[in-house]
């Protein structure tokens, strides 16, 4: 990488972080650098640290310049996205705070100038978040809050990510696409007969994001059954509800509906009634046999006395 490229990239970073308005020419330099294979991840990391990223994380600095710097860093270095979430302190169920709003505003300005290559980098960051979700290093609630932030670049790219997963689960073989998008996710298509509890966080995340077909799929995979409230929200189109006699099929997987509490209570009552019925029959037989024996004994004694 020549010195002119280095100088242009440093200048572009500084233009973006020190101005409240995004400079298109500065974004163009970032895009060119992402496309340039000579600009390595190590170089990017050093570049961001020279602007104070490492100190900002360590000392929790939230100046406007630092928020913009960390946002750019999370876009071009996918592996830093989980750290970005922790630094921004995303909390489920809470409105975005001042720092988060500042980042969202910056993202909104940047989004108009980003090409498909940078979006792919952002989607790779989502891959890493999903892996952390499966490893229970981040909660479904935090991820749902992050993906639902209006104006967020990750909100837009998450929707593309869902389309990729939807497409991958609809094609055969599934494992090739899934393995390319997520660590070990191909296990799903290879072990559908097992309850893969490892994937339960995915079911919960997609439920929170109102992606009910995906939620149903991952509930079936992880729990062996799907809650009724999830199934009731799925449009029963011809592909989903393939055959009324065979039941609901989602992405080629037969769905088992989880019994409701009322149904469970009803089944328990039926089992109790059957048990009582069997008990009554059993004891009725015992008493009948006892009375029969007693009656025969009385007859025998009476005959003996008469003689």
pLDDT for residue 115 is more than 50: yes
- Residue range 80-108: average pLDDT? 93
- Residue range 228-241: average pLDDT? 72
Confidence of residue 72 (pLDDT cuts 50, 70, 90): very high
Give residue 184's pLDDT. 44
Give residue 150's pLDDT. 87
Q: How far is CA 155 from CA 108, 123, 126, 242, in A?
A: 11, 10, 10, 32
132 vs 171: which has the higher pLDDT: 132
pLDDT for residue 178 is more than 60: no
Give residue 259's pLDDT. 55
pLDDT for residue 58 is more than 50: yes
**Lowest-pLDDT choice from 25-34, 57-66, 272-281:** 272-281
Confidence of residue 175 (pLDDT cuts 50, 70, 90): very low
For 270-290, what is each residue's pLDDT tens digit?
Answer: 555 555 556 666 666 677 677
Give the position of tokens 């960390």.
70
What's the rounded Cα separation, in Å, for the pair 261 and 93? 28
CA atoms within 13 A on the CB side of 20: 1
Give residue 88's pLDDT. 94
Task: Cite the DSSP H helix spans in the chain.
Answer: 3-17, 24-35, 41-50, 53-58, 64-76, 81-88, 98-111, 116-134, 140-147, 153-170, 174-181, 187-190, 200-208, 212-223, 228-231, 261-306
């Amino acid at each position: 990488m020549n010195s002119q490229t280095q100088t242009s990239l440093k200048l572009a970073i500084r233009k973006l972080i020190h101005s409240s308005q995004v400079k298109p020419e500065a974004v163009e330099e970032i895009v060119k650098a992402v496309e340039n294979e000579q600009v390595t991840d190590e170089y990017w990391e050093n570049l961001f640290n020279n602007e104070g990223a490492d100190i900002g994380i360590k000392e929790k600095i939230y100046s406007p310049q630092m928020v913009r710097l960390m946002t750019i860093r999370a876009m071009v270095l996918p592996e830093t996205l989980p750290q970005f979430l922790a630094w921004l302190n995303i909390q489920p169920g809470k409105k975005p705070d001042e720092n988060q709003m500042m980042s969202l505003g910056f993202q909104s300005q940047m989004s108009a100038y980003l090409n498909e290559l940078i979006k792919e980098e952002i989607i790779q960051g989502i891959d890493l978040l999903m892996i952390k979700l499966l490893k229970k290093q981040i909660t479904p609630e935090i991820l749902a809050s992050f993906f639902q932030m209006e104006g967020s670049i990750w909100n837009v790219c998450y929707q593309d990510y869902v389309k990729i997963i939807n497409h991958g689960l609809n094609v055969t073989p599934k494992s090739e696409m899934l393995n390319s998008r997520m660590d070990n996710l191909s296990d799903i298509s290879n072990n559908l007969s097992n309850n893969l509890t490892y994937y339960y966080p995915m079911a919960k995340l997609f439920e929170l994001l109102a992606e009910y077909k995906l939620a149903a799929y991952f509930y079936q995979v992880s729990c062996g059954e799907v809650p009724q409230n999830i199934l009731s929200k799925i449009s029963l189109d011809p592909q989903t509800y393939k055959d009324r006699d065979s039941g609901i099929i989602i992405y080629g997987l037969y769905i088992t509906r989880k019994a409701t509490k009322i149904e469970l209570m009803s089944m328990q009552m039926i089992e109790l009634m059957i048990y009582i019925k069997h008990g009554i029959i059993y004891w009725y037989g015992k008493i009948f046999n006892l009375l029969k024996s007693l009656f025969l004994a009385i007859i025998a004694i009476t005959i003996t006395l008469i003689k």
